Amino acid sequence: MRKALIGLAIVLALYLLIVLIAGRGPHVDIPADARIGQEYVGENEAAVIERTQNLILDQMRSRYGDDDTALRDAHPKAHGCVQADFQILDGLDEHYRYGLFAAPRSYHAWIRFSNGSLVPQPDAKGDVRGMAIKLTGVPGPKLMPDENQTQDFLLINHPVLPVGDPGEYADLFDLAFQGRPMSYMFSLNPFAWKLGALSEIIAIRTKKIPSMLGIRYWSTTPYRWANNGAVKYSARPCEASTATVPDDPTDNYLREVMIAHLEGRDACFEFMVQPQTDAVAMPIEDPAVEWSEQLSPFVPVARIVIPVQNFATAPQDQFCEDLSFSPWHSVAAHQPLGGINRVRKSVYLAISAHRHQHNLREPIEPTGEERFD
């Protein structure tokens, strides 16, 4: 047994050395003449999208029987949906006065906070944490047929994804559904792969947090910006949090902490954009590559205020479950970019349709005027 453990340790050490030698370059081949905001669609992308959609729908059909409530395929555990005000800042520099951010105004919003694990688990376990923002009362035509006056921003508490292109995205889903996502680190040639998904998966799966309201979130994927440019999004707490993980946390302590916080005081986030300034070092097609904040700092363009409220009610929880979030719930000015986002377009729509049909629930897009007191 001891020899086996030593052997495994040597293999892991060699693998990590290979990853370090290979570097943290992009998964996706980026043309030397790449342009700011330019997408590069792979030859087999349509087939990969179909494979991804079939994988997820097959998994959902096998997991949930006729008498079960079908949860989301990812981020199934919600800590709650809260009401918020999304306030576009006044006095922005000209480059940042674009699309929804062209002029100061406030949108009513719903925000769903969640855990990412495919199977709901205790909050004390490391996990991806999600912040899905849905603005309401947004005028103009949208990119998706299933919504009217809304705009979504999907963020997680990690600046990158562990995969860089649609094919790797499908492979990781496949391994996750088999219950062995960690084996992903051995599924590709690290010399060709470069990033080393081991470090990203470990970073994501070991993150324990004290509060959903006190951490930073990132979009990981890019979006259209002015003059055919591109940006990534991030939401950062307005003030540094002093909260700590409870000594003896309950399975749902993140919901309990959020309830306690919003009983007594508002929460606040800065919503920021990071312009793409280097088409190779900050690739559109590879969300496994972090865009350097030294090359391009994030700039605040809006403020999210979550007022004191009681969100933890059965009617509001059901409302939260009936919502669907997609980066393609968007005006054209903020079109999602890159292969992972292109996969999401049809896949998210199919998942939402299947979930609502299975649960005999009507999909809804909110007005922002809903109240569940």
Higher pLDDT, 275 or 35: 275
pLDDT at 1 over 90: no
pTM score: 0.87
Alpha carbons 72 and 355: distance in angstroms, whole number: 7
Q: Is-contact 313 184, C-beta < 8 A?
A: no
Residues 320, 303: Cα–Cα separation, whole Å? 22
Superfamily grouping for domain 40-162+209-359? Catalase core domain (2.40.180.10)
Q: pLDDT class for 257, splitting at 50, 70, 90?
A: very high
State the average pLDDT for the chain: 85
Is residue 171 within a helix (H) or strand (E), and if so which, with residue range? helix 166-177
| Token representation of residue 240 | 């540094």
Helix axes 166-177, 45-63, angle to 10 degrees: 20
Q: Evaluate if residue 118 carries a pLDDT over 90.
A: no
Q: What tens digit of pLDDT does each residue of 89-101 get?
A: 999 999 999 999 9
- Single-letter amino acid code for the residue at 47: A
Q: What is the pLDDT of residue 81?
A: 97
Percent of the chain predicted with pLDDT > 70: 80
Provide Rg for the chain, Cα atoms.
21
Q: What is the pLDDT of residues 165-222, one digit of tens each?
A: 766 666 665 665 565 544 444 444 444 444 445 566 566 666 789 999 999 999 999 9
Task: Tell me how crowded residue 271 is: count the other CB atoms within 10 A of its CB.
Answer: 23
Over range 111-125, report the average pLDDT. 92
State residue 75's pLDDT score: 93
CA atoms within 13 A on the CB side of 140: 12
Exposure string over 306-333, b if 16+ CB within 10 A, otherwise e: beebebbeeebbebbbbbbbbbbbbbeb
Give the mean pLDDT of 272-284.
Answer: 95
φ, ψ of residue 100 to 5 degrees: the values are -65, -15
| Sequence spans of domains, the chain | 40-162+209-359
Number of H helices, E strands in the chain: 8, 9
